[in-house]
Amino acid sequence: MITESDFGKRVYYIDGEQLNQFVASSEYVCTGYGYEWEKEGVTHIHFSPLEHSFGKKLNVSFAKENGHHLSDANIKVDIASNGSALVDGTEVTIIPSRENLYKRNKGLIELDILANKRVLIIGLGSGGSPIAVELAKAGVGQFALADFDRIELHNLSRHICSLNDLGRLKTDAVSDAIKGKNPYAVVDKLPIDVSKNLDILEEEIKKADIVMCCTDNNSSRFHTSELLVKHNKVGLFGRAITRAEGGDVFIYRPGQACYFCLLGSDWYDQSNEEITNEASARRAGHIPAYVSAEDAEAFVQVGLGADIEPINNMMVKLALVELSRGTESGISSLEDEFQANYYIWANRRERQYTNWGSFHNTNGMPTIMKWYGINISKDDDCTLCGHKESLATDETFLESLKAMGSGDFSGLNLEDISDTGLQNM
Ligand SMILES: [Zn+2]
Protein backbone atom coordinates (compact mmCIF):
# COMPACT_ATOMS: atom_id res chain seq x y z
CA MET A 1 0.00 0.00 0.00
CA ILE A 2 1.29 3.45 -0.89
CA THR A 3 1.55 5.76 2.09
CA GLU A 4 1.83 9.54 2.11
CA SER A 5 5.56 9.37 2.72
CA ASP A 6 5.95 7.44 -0.53
CA PHE A 7 4.87 10.44 -2.60
CA GLY A 8 7.87 12.13 -4.04
CA LYS A 9 9.93 8.99 -3.69
CA ARG A 10 11.45 7.78 -6.93
CA VAL A 11 10.97 4.22 -8.15
CA TYR A 12 13.23 2.44 -10.62
CA TYR A 13 12.79 -0.83 -12.49
CA ILE A 14 15.38 -2.80 -14.40
CA ASP A 15 15.26 -5.96 -16.52
CA GLY A 16 16.80 -8.79 -14.45
CA GLU A 17 17.95 -10.86 -17.41
CA GLN A 18 19.81 -7.94 -19.03
CA LEU A 19 21.29 -6.98 -15.66
CA ASN A 20 22.61 -10.50 -15.09
CA GLN A 21 24.27 -10.45 -18.50
CA PHE A 22 26.10 -7.23 -17.64
CA VAL A 23 27.16 -8.53 -14.23
CA ALA A 24 28.59 -11.66 -15.87
CA SER A 25 30.41 -9.69 -18.58
CA SER A 26 33.99 -8.41 -18.36
CA GLU A 27 32.82 -4.80 -18.92
CA TYR A 28 32.92 -2.28 -16.06
CA VAL A 29 30.82 0.47 -17.61
CA CYS A 30 28.12 0.63 -20.22
CA THR A 31 25.36 2.94 -21.39
CA GLY A 32 21.62 2.41 -21.43
CA TYR A 33 18.23 4.08 -21.66
CA GLY A 34 15.77 5.26 -19.08
CA TYR A 35 12.08 5.92 -19.68
CA GLU A 36 10.49 8.17 -17.12
CA TRP A 37 6.77 8.48 -16.50
CA GLU A 38 6.98 12.22 -15.97
CA LYS A 39 5.57 13.67 -12.73
CA GLU A 40 4.90 10.13 -11.55
CA GLY A 41 8.37 9.43 -10.20
CA VAL A 42 8.59 6.11 -12.04
CA THR A 43 11.51 5.22 -14.30
CA HIS A 44 12.18 2.01 -16.24
CA ILE A 45 15.83 1.35 -17.07
CA HIS A 46 16.96 -0.73 -20.05
CA PHE A 47 20.30 -1.72 -21.53
CA SER A 48 18.95 -1.55 -25.07
CA PRO A 49 16.46 0.99 -26.43
CA LEU A 50 12.76 0.10 -26.46
CA GLU A 51 11.22 -0.39 -29.87
CA HIS A 52 8.26 1.75 -28.88
CA SER A 53 9.08 4.00 -25.97
CA PHE A 54 6.89 5.73 -23.43
CA GLY A 55 7.48 8.86 -21.36
CA LYS A 56 10.66 10.92 -21.39
CA LYS A 57 13.80 9.21 -22.66
CA LEU A 58 16.93 9.55 -20.50
CA ASN A 59 20.57 8.57 -20.89
CA VAL A 60 21.74 5.95 -18.42
CA SER A 61 25.20 4.91 -17.33
CA PHE A 62 25.78 1.55 -15.63
CA ALA A 63 28.98 1.06 -13.60
CA LYS A 64 30.33 -1.83 -11.54
CA GLU A 65 32.36 -1.10 -8.39
CA ASN A 66 35.59 -0.40 -10.27
CA GLY A 67 33.96 1.45 -13.15
CA HIS A 68 33.55 5.23 -13.62
CA HIS A 69 30.22 6.68 -14.67
CA LEU A 70 29.87 8.70 -17.84
CA SER A 71 29.55 12.31 -16.73
CA ASP A 72 26.68 13.26 -19.07
CA ALA A 73 24.32 10.47 -17.98
CA ASN A 74 20.91 11.51 -16.59
CA ILE A 75 20.76 8.39 -14.43
CA LYS A 76 23.78 6.66 -12.89
CA VAL A 77 23.20 3.06 -11.87
CA ASP A 78 25.70 1.51 -9.44
CA ILE A 79 25.85 -2.24 -9.78
CA ALA A 80 27.22 -4.39 -6.97
CA SER A 81 28.96 -7.70 -7.56
CA ASN A 82 25.94 -9.55 -6.14
CA GLY A 83 23.80 -8.14 -8.95
CA SER A 84 21.90 -5.51 -6.96
CA ALA A 85 21.51 -2.05 -8.46
CA LEU A 86 21.25 1.42 -6.88
CA VAL A 87 20.41 4.88 -8.22
CA ASP A 88 21.40 7.73 -5.83
CA GLY A 89 21.23 5.22 -2.99
CA THR A 90 17.73 4.01 -3.97
CA GLU A 91 17.45 0.31 -4.66
CA VAL A 92 16.27 -0.56 -8.17
CA THR A 93 13.47 -3.15 -8.41
CA ILE A 94 14.59 -6.01 -10.61
CA ILE A 95 12.00 -7.40 -13.06
CA PRO A 96 12.31 -11.18 -12.73
CA SER A 97 13.82 -13.28 -15.43
CA ARG A 98 11.86 -15.54 -17.73
CA GLU A 99 11.37 -18.48 -15.39
CA ASN A 100 10.16 -16.32 -12.51
CA LEU A 101 7.83 -13.99 -14.39
CA TYR A 102 5.08 -16.59 -14.65
CA LYS A 103 5.89 -18.43 -11.43
CA ARG A 104 2.32 -18.00 -10.22
CA ASN A 105 1.01 -20.02 -13.17
CA LYS A 106 3.17 -22.96 -12.07
CA GLY A 107 1.17 -26.07 -11.32
CA LEU A 108 -1.77 -24.72 -13.28
CA ILE A 109 -0.11 -25.08 -16.63
CA GLU A 110 3.17 -26.54 -17.84
CA LEU A 111 5.18 -23.39 -18.48
CA ASP A 112 8.13 -24.97 -20.27
CA ILE A 113 5.81 -26.65 -22.72
CA LEU A 114 3.78 -23.50 -23.44
CA ALA A 115 6.94 -21.42 -23.88
CA ASN A 116 7.86 -23.56 -26.87
CA LYS A 117 4.41 -23.64 -28.46
CA ARG A 118 3.65 -21.60 -31.54
CA VAL A 119 0.18 -20.13 -32.03
CA LEU A 120 -0.97 -18.66 -35.34
CA ILE A 121 -3.68 -16.05 -34.85
CA ILE A 122 -5.56 -15.03 -37.97
CA GLY A 123 -7.46 -11.76 -37.47
CA LEU A 124 -6.52 -9.33 -34.71
CA GLY A 125 -9.84 -7.65 -34.00
CA SER A 126 -11.97 -7.83 -30.89
CA GLY A 127 -11.45 -11.61 -30.89
CA GLY A 128 -7.88 -12.17 -31.97
CA SER A 129 -6.28 -9.32 -30.01
CA PRO A 130 -7.51 -10.24 -26.50
CA ILE A 131 -6.92 -13.93 -27.26
CA ALA A 132 -3.30 -13.16 -28.18
CA VAL A 133 -2.69 -11.27 -24.94
CA GLU A 134 -4.47 -13.87 -22.82
CA LEU A 135 -2.32 -16.66 -24.29
CA ALA A 136 0.81 -14.58 -23.64
CA LYS A 137 -0.30 -14.12 -20.01
CA ALA A 138 -0.63 -17.89 -19.71
CA GLY A 139 2.97 -18.28 -20.92
CA VAL A 140 2.64 -19.16 -24.61
CA GLY A 141 6.03 -18.22 -26.06
CA GLN A 142 5.70 -18.06 -29.82
CA PHE A 143 3.19 -16.24 -31.95
CA ALA A 144 2.50 -15.57 -35.60
CA LEU A 145 0.01 -12.73 -36.06
CA ALA A 146 -1.83 -12.29 -39.36
CA ASP A 147 -3.90 -9.18 -40.12
CA PHE A 148 -3.49 -6.45 -42.71
CA ASP A 149 -5.73 -3.89 -40.97
CA ARG A 150 -4.79 -0.87 -38.92
CA ILE A 151 -6.23 0.22 -35.57
CA GLU A 152 -9.20 2.47 -36.32
CA LEU A 153 -11.54 4.49 -34.14
CA HIS A 154 -14.59 2.32 -34.84
CA ASN A 155 -13.05 -0.84 -33.44
CA LEU A 156 -11.26 0.63 -30.43
CA SER A 157 -14.05 -0.01 -27.95
CA ARG A 158 -13.72 -3.76 -28.37
CA HIS A 159 -10.00 -3.94 -28.99
CA ILE A 160 -7.09 -4.61 -26.68
CA CYS A 161 -5.25 -1.59 -28.08
CA SER A 162 -5.74 2.02 -27.04
CA LEU A 163 -6.10 5.47 -28.58
CA ASN A 164 -2.30 5.71 -28.59
CA ASP A 165 -2.26 2.90 -31.13
CA LEU A 166 -4.57 4.59 -33.69
CA GLY A 167 -3.31 4.16 -37.22
CA ARG A 168 -0.78 1.46 -36.33
CA LEU A 169 -0.84 -1.92 -38.03
CA LYS A 170 -2.70 -4.35 -35.77
CA THR A 171 0.23 -6.77 -36.08
CA ASP A 172 2.62 -4.15 -34.60
CA ALA A 173 0.25 -2.97 -31.87
CA VAL A 174 -0.77 -6.46 -30.75
CA SER A 175 2.86 -7.62 -30.84
CA ASP A 176 3.69 -4.83 -28.39
CA ALA A 177 0.73 -5.84 -26.21
CA ILE A 178 1.99 -9.44 -26.13
CA LYS A 179 5.52 -8.33 -25.24
CA GLY A 180 4.13 -6.07 -22.56
CA LYS A 181 2.95 -9.25 -20.84
CA ASN A 182 5.70 -11.62 -21.89
CA PRO A 183 8.87 -9.81 -23.04
CA TYR A 184 10.42 -13.18 -23.97
CA ALA A 185 7.68 -14.05 -26.46
CA VAL A 186 8.79 -14.44 -30.05
CA VAL A 187 6.30 -12.72 -32.36
CA ASP A 188 6.29 -13.01 -36.15
CA LYS A 189 4.18 -10.32 -37.80
CA LEU A 190 2.27 -11.01 -41.02
CA PRO A 191 0.51 -7.83 -42.15
CA ILE A 192 -1.12 -9.62 -45.08
CA ASP A 193 -4.49 -10.80 -46.35
CA VAL A 194 -4.06 -14.54 -45.84
CA SER A 195 -6.72 -15.33 -48.46
CA LYS A 196 -4.54 -13.66 -51.08
CA ASN A 197 -1.29 -15.16 -49.79
CA LEU A 198 -2.20 -18.81 -49.50
CA ASP A 199 1.40 -19.98 -49.79
CA ILE A 200 2.32 -17.95 -46.69
CA LEU A 201 -0.82 -19.12 -44.88
CA GLU A 202 0.11 -22.72 -45.65
CA GLU A 203 3.68 -22.30 -44.38
CA GLU A 204 2.42 -20.69 -41.18
CA ILE A 205 -0.18 -23.39 -40.57
CA LYS A 206 2.52 -26.04 -41.03
CA LYS A 207 4.71 -24.32 -38.42
CA ALA A 208 1.92 -23.70 -35.89
CA ASP A 209 0.97 -25.95 -33.00
CA ILE A 210 -2.50 -24.46 -33.02
CA VAL A 211 -4.37 -22.02 -35.27
CA MET A 212 -6.86 -19.46 -33.91
CA CYS A 213 -9.17 -18.30 -36.68
CA CYS A 214 -10.69 -14.99 -35.53
CA THR A 215 -11.48 -13.31 -38.81
CA ASP A 216 -14.70 -11.69 -39.96
CA ASN A 217 -14.79 -13.17 -43.42
CA ASN A 218 -15.58 -16.63 -44.66
CA SER A 219 -12.85 -16.55 -47.26
CA SER A 220 -10.06 -16.85 -44.68
CA ARG A 221 -12.10 -19.39 -42.69
CA PHE A 222 -12.58 -21.44 -45.82
CA HIS A 223 -8.89 -21.52 -46.73
CA THR A 224 -7.80 -22.07 -43.13
CA SER A 225 -10.18 -25.05 -42.86
CA GLU A 226 -8.73 -26.60 -46.00
CA LEU A 227 -5.16 -26.23 -44.81
CA LEU A 228 -5.87 -27.51 -41.30
CA VAL A 229 -7.28 -30.71 -42.77
CA LYS A 230 -4.43 -30.97 -45.28
CA HIS A 231 -1.73 -30.65 -42.60
CA ASN A 232 -3.51 -32.33 -39.66
CA LYS A 233 -3.38 -29.26 -37.44
CA VAL A 234 -5.68 -28.27 -34.60
CA GLY A 235 -7.63 -25.10 -35.31
CA LEU A 236 -10.25 -23.04 -33.51
CA PHE A 237 -12.96 -20.92 -35.11
CA GLY A 238 -14.77 -18.37 -32.97
CA ARG A 239 -17.56 -16.02 -33.95
CA ALA A 240 -19.99 -13.59 -32.44
CA ILE A 241 -23.39 -13.26 -34.06
CA THR A 242 -24.39 -9.87 -35.48
CA ARG A 243 -24.99 -7.84 -32.33
CA ALA A 244 -23.19 -10.37 -30.18
CA GLU A 245 -26.47 -11.74 -28.85
CA GLY A 246 -24.56 -14.99 -28.98
CA GLY A 247 -21.77 -16.84 -30.65
CA ASP A 248 -20.06 -20.13 -31.19
CA VAL A 249 -16.68 -21.81 -31.07
CA PHE A 250 -15.68 -24.75 -33.22
CA ILE A 251 -12.52 -26.77 -32.71
CA TYR A 252 -11.08 -28.91 -35.45
CA ARG A 253 -9.07 -31.85 -34.16
CA PRO A 254 -7.43 -33.90 -36.91
CA GLY A 255 -9.50 -36.98 -37.70
CA GLN A 256 -12.69 -35.44 -36.34
CA ALA A 257 -15.33 -33.33 -38.05
CA CYS A 258 -13.98 -30.34 -39.95
CA TYR A 259 -15.48 -26.88 -40.29
CA PHE A 260 -17.13 -27.95 -43.55
CA CYS A 261 -18.79 -30.88 -41.73
CA LEU A 262 -20.36 -28.28 -39.43
CA LEU A 263 -21.45 -25.75 -42.01
CA GLY A 264 -22.03 -27.83 -45.10
CA SER A 265 -20.39 -27.21 -48.41
CA ASP A 266 -22.16 -24.07 -49.58
CA TRP A 267 -21.40 -21.70 -46.71
CA TYR A 268 -18.72 -19.92 -48.63
CA ASP A 269 -19.40 -18.30 -51.96
CA GLN A 270 -16.22 -17.16 -53.54
CA SER A 271 -17.36 -13.52 -53.53
CA ASN A 272 -15.03 -12.96 -50.59
CA GLU A 273 -17.40 -11.09 -48.37
CA GLU A 274 -16.20 -8.54 -45.90
CA ILE A 275 -18.76 -7.45 -43.38
CA THR A 276 -17.17 -5.08 -40.91
CA ASN A 277 -18.62 -2.01 -42.56
CA GLU A 278 -21.89 -1.16 -44.22
CA ALA A 279 -20.47 -0.32 -47.63
CA SER A 280 -18.64 -3.60 -48.08
CA ALA A 281 -21.57 -5.58 -46.70
CA ARG A 282 -23.85 -3.92 -49.27
CA ARG A 283 -21.31 -4.52 -52.00
CA ALA A 284 -21.12 -8.18 -51.14
CA GLY A 285 -24.90 -8.39 -51.26
CA HIS A 286 -25.38 -9.19 -47.58
CA ILE A 287 -27.46 -6.07 -47.05
CA PRO A 288 -30.19 -5.68 -49.65
CA ALA A 289 -30.55 -2.25 -51.26
CA TYR A 290 -33.94 -1.63 -49.59
CA VAL A 291 -32.53 -1.94 -46.05
CA SER A 292 -32.19 1.45 -44.38
CA ALA A 293 -28.84 2.80 -43.25
CA GLU A 294 -30.01 2.44 -39.66
CA ASP A 295 -30.86 -1.24 -39.99
CA ALA A 296 -27.70 -1.77 -41.96
CA GLU A 297 -25.76 -0.23 -39.10
CA ALA A 298 -27.30 -2.82 -36.79
CA PHE A 299 -26.14 -5.49 -39.20
CA VAL A 300 -22.53 -4.49 -38.90
CA GLN A 301 -22.63 -3.87 -35.16
CA VAL A 302 -20.60 -6.43 -33.37
CA GLY A 303 -21.91 -5.82 -29.88
CA LEU A 304 -20.28 -5.00 -26.60
CA GLY A 305 -16.81 -6.16 -25.78
CA ALA A 306 -18.29 -7.83 -22.70
CA ASP A 307 -20.54 -9.93 -24.96
CA ILE A 308 -17.59 -11.04 -27.06
CA GLU A 309 -15.34 -11.87 -24.10
CA PRO A 310 -17.07 -15.18 -23.22
CA ILE A 311 -16.30 -16.43 -26.71
CA ASN A 312 -12.67 -15.28 -26.48
CA ASN A 313 -12.38 -16.89 -23.07
CA MET A 314 -13.66 -20.22 -24.38
CA MET A 315 -11.21 -20.05 -27.31
CA VAL A 316 -8.31 -19.44 -24.90
CA LYS A 317 -9.29 -22.28 -22.56
CA LEU A 318 -9.74 -24.73 -25.42
CA ALA A 319 -6.39 -23.68 -26.89
CA LEU A 320 -4.55 -24.08 -23.58
CA VAL A 321 -6.04 -27.53 -23.07
CA GLU A 322 -4.99 -28.60 -26.56
CA LEU A 323 -1.48 -27.15 -26.15
CA SER A 324 -1.07 -28.89 -22.78
CA ARG A 325 -2.62 -32.18 -23.86
CA GLY A 326 -0.73 -35.19 -22.53
CA THR A 327 1.12 -33.24 -19.83
CA GLU A 328 0.39 -33.31 -16.13
CA SER A 329 -1.09 -29.95 -15.31
CA GLY A 330 -3.79 -28.27 -13.30
CA ILE A 331 -6.02 -28.07 -16.34
CA SER A 332 -5.72 -31.75 -17.33
CA SER A 333 -9.24 -32.45 -16.09
CA LEU A 334 -10.54 -30.11 -18.77
CA GLU A 335 -9.47 -32.63 -21.40
CA ASP A 336 -12.45 -34.69 -20.25
CA GLU A 337 -14.77 -31.71 -20.03
CA PHE A 338 -13.97 -30.30 -23.46
CA GLN A 339 -14.60 -33.39 -25.54
CA ALA A 340 -17.20 -31.75 -27.75
CA ASN A 341 -16.01 -29.94 -30.84
CA TYR A 342 -18.71 -27.30 -31.09
CA TYR A 343 -19.80 -24.88 -28.38
CA ILE A 344 -22.64 -22.38 -28.43
CA TRP A 345 -23.34 -19.43 -26.18
CA ALA A 346 -26.11 -16.83 -25.91
CA ASN A 347 -25.85 -13.44 -24.24
CA ARG A 348 -29.48 -12.39 -24.77
CA ARG A 349 -32.72 -14.09 -25.77
CA GLU A 350 -32.89 -12.20 -29.04
CA ARG A 351 -33.44 -13.21 -32.64
CA GLN A 352 -32.27 -16.80 -33.12
CA TYR A 353 -32.21 -17.28 -29.34
CA THR A 354 -35.71 -15.92 -28.77
CA ASN A 355 -37.15 -19.35 -28.00
CA TRP A 356 -34.51 -20.29 -25.47
CA GLY A 357 -35.57 -20.69 -21.85
CA SER A 358 -35.36 -17.88 -19.33
CA PHE A 359 -32.27 -17.83 -17.16
CA HIS A 360 -34.10 -19.44 -14.24
CA ASN A 361 -36.19 -21.92 -16.19
CA THR A 362 -36.36 -25.42 -14.74
CA ASN A 363 -37.58 -27.35 -17.75
CA GLY A 364 -34.24 -28.13 -19.28
CA MET A 365 -34.29 -25.42 -21.90
CA PRO A 366 -30.98 -23.94 -22.92
CA THR A 367 -30.49 -20.54 -21.32
CA ILE A 368 -28.32 -17.49 -21.78
CA MET A 369 -24.86 -17.24 -20.23
CA LYS A 370 -24.16 -20.93 -20.34
CA TRP A 371 -22.04 -22.97 -22.70
CA TYR A 372 -23.51 -25.91 -24.57
CA GLY A 373 -21.08 -28.41 -26.02
CA ILE A 374 -22.22 -30.42 -29.02
CA ASN A 375 -20.49 -33.30 -30.75
CA ILE A 376 -20.52 -32.70 -34.46
CA SER A 377 -19.83 -36.00 -36.19
CA LYS A 378 -17.64 -36.33 -39.19
CA ASP A 379 -19.74 -36.16 -42.32
CA ASP A 380 -18.90 -38.83 -44.86
CA ASP A 381 -20.32 -36.59 -47.54
CA CYS A 382 -18.19 -33.60 -46.51
CA THR A 383 -16.62 -31.99 -49.55
CA LEU A 384 -13.42 -31.35 -47.61
CA CYS A 385 -12.80 -34.34 -45.36
CA GLY A 386 -15.47 -36.83 -46.47
CA HIS A 387 -15.33 -39.57 -49.05
CA LYS A 388 -18.20 -38.62 -51.31
CA GLU A 389 -18.87 -35.28 -52.92
CA SER A 390 -22.35 -33.98 -52.26
CA LEU A 391 -24.11 -31.28 -50.33
CA ALA A 392 -24.05 -31.86 -46.61
CA THR A 393 -27.26 -31.55 -44.65
CA ASP A 394 -28.14 -29.88 -41.39
CA GLU A 395 -29.38 -33.13 -39.93
CA THR A 396 -26.26 -34.04 -37.98
CA PHE A 397 -26.27 -30.71 -36.25
CA LEU A 398 -29.95 -30.78 -35.35
CA GLU A 399 -29.66 -34.36 -34.12
CA SER A 400 -26.79 -33.36 -31.84
CA LEU A 401 -28.78 -30.45 -30.50
CA LYS A 402 -31.73 -32.69 -29.72
CA ALA A 403 -29.41 -35.18 -28.07
CA MET A 404 -28.30 -32.46 -25.67
CA GLY A 405 -31.53 -32.61 -23.73
CA SER A 406 -35.26 -32.53 -23.90
CA GLY A 407 -35.41 -28.80 -24.59
CA ASP A 408 -36.99 -27.23 -27.58
CA PHE A 409 -34.22 -26.11 -29.85
CA SER A 410 -36.45 -24.94 -32.63
CA GLY A 411 -35.31 -21.39 -32.00
CA LEU A 412 -31.88 -22.26 -33.24
CA ASN A 413 -31.10 -23.75 -36.55
CA LEU A 414 -28.06 -24.05 -38.67
CA GLU A 415 -29.30 -21.55 -41.22
CA ASP A 416 -29.17 -18.86 -38.56
CA ILE A 417 -25.85 -19.93 -37.16
CA SER A 418 -24.14 -20.08 -40.49
CA ASP A 419 -25.73 -17.08 -42.14
CA THR A 420 -23.67 -14.10 -43.09
CA GLY A 421 -24.90 -12.13 -40.11
CA LEU A 422 -22.04 -13.70 -38.21
CA GLN A 423 -19.49 -11.17 -37.32
CA ASN A 424 -15.92 -10.69 -36.57
CA MET A 425 -15.22 -11.08 -32.91
ZN1 LIG B 1 -15.45 -32.27 -43.07
For the residues of 241-298, what is the DSSP string, one character each?
Answer: ETTSSEEEEEEE-TTS--HHHHH-SSS--TT----SSHHHHHHTTSS-TTS-HHHHHH
Per the structure, the count of domains in the chain is 2
CA of 413 from ligand 1 middle (Å) equals 19
Q: What pTM does this model have?
A: 0.81
Contact 185, 141 (CB under 8 A): yes
Based on the fold, state whether residues 291 and 164 are members of the same structural domain.
Answer: yes
At 7 the pLDDT is 57
Based on the fold, state whether residues 65 and 114 are members of the same structural domain.
Answer: no
At 50 the pLDDT is 85
CA of 295 from ligand 1 middle (Å) equals 35
Which residues, by Cβ under 5 Å, contact ligand 1, an ion? Answer: 258, 260-261, 382, 384-385
Residue 111 within a domain: yes
CATH code at 289?
3.40.50.720
CA of 228 from ligand 1 middle (Å) equals 11
Q: Which of 44, 64, 95 marks a domain boundary?
A: 95
Based on the fold, state whether residues 81 and 129 are members of the same structural domain.
Answer: no
CA of 195 from ligand 1 middle (Å) equals 20
At 155 the pLDDT is 74
CA of 419 from ligand 1 middle (Å) equals 18
Contact 148, 122 (CB under 8 A): no
CA of 234 from ligand 1 middle (Å) equals 14
Contact 253, 261 (CB under 8 A): no
CA of 288 from ligand 1 middle (Å) equals 31
At 413 the pLDDT is 42
CA of 340 from ligand 1 middle (Å) equals 15
- pLDDT tens digits for the chain (425 residues)? 555 455 567 899 998 888 999 999 999 999 999 999 888 889 999 999 987 777 889 999 999 988 899 889 999 999 998 889 999 989 999 988 776 777 777 767 777 789 999 999 999 999 999 999 999 999 899 999 999 999 988 778 888 998 889 999 999 999 999 998 888 899 999 999 999 999 999 999 999 999 999 998 888 999 999 999 999 999 999 988 877 889 999 999 999 999 999 988 777 765 444 455 555 566 555 665 666 666 665 555 567 888 999 999 999 999 999 999 888 888 888 888 899 999 999 999 988 888 888 888 878 888 999 999 999 999 988 989 986 433 334 455 445 554 544 344 444 444 444 433 344 34
Based on the fold, state whether residues 22 and 50 are members of the same structural domain.
Answer: yes
Burial-class residue 305 by CB neighbours within 10 Å (0-12, 13-18, 19+): middle
CA of 208 from ligand 1 middle (Å) equals 21
Contact 349, 358 (CB under 8 A): yes
CA of 233 from ligand 1 middle (Å) equals 14
Q: Which of 76, 95, 114 marks a domain boundary?
A: 95
CA of 184 from ligand 1 middle (Å) equals 37
CA of 258 from ligand 1 middle (Å) equals 4
Based on the fold, state whether residues 413 and 266 are members of the same structural domain.
Answer: yes
CA of 272 from ligand 1 middle (Å) equals 21
Q: Which of 52, 72, 95 marks a domain boundary?
A: 95
At 280 the pLDDT is 57
Q: 252 lies in which domain range?
A: 105-423
CA of 74 from ligand 1 middle (Å) equals 63
CA of 265 from ligand 1 middle (Å) equals 9
CA of 385 from ligand 1 middle (Å) equals 4
Based on the fold, state whether residues 89 and 109 are members of the same structural domain.
Answer: no
Contact 75, 43 (CB under 8 A): yes
CA of 394 from ligand 1 middle (Å) equals 13
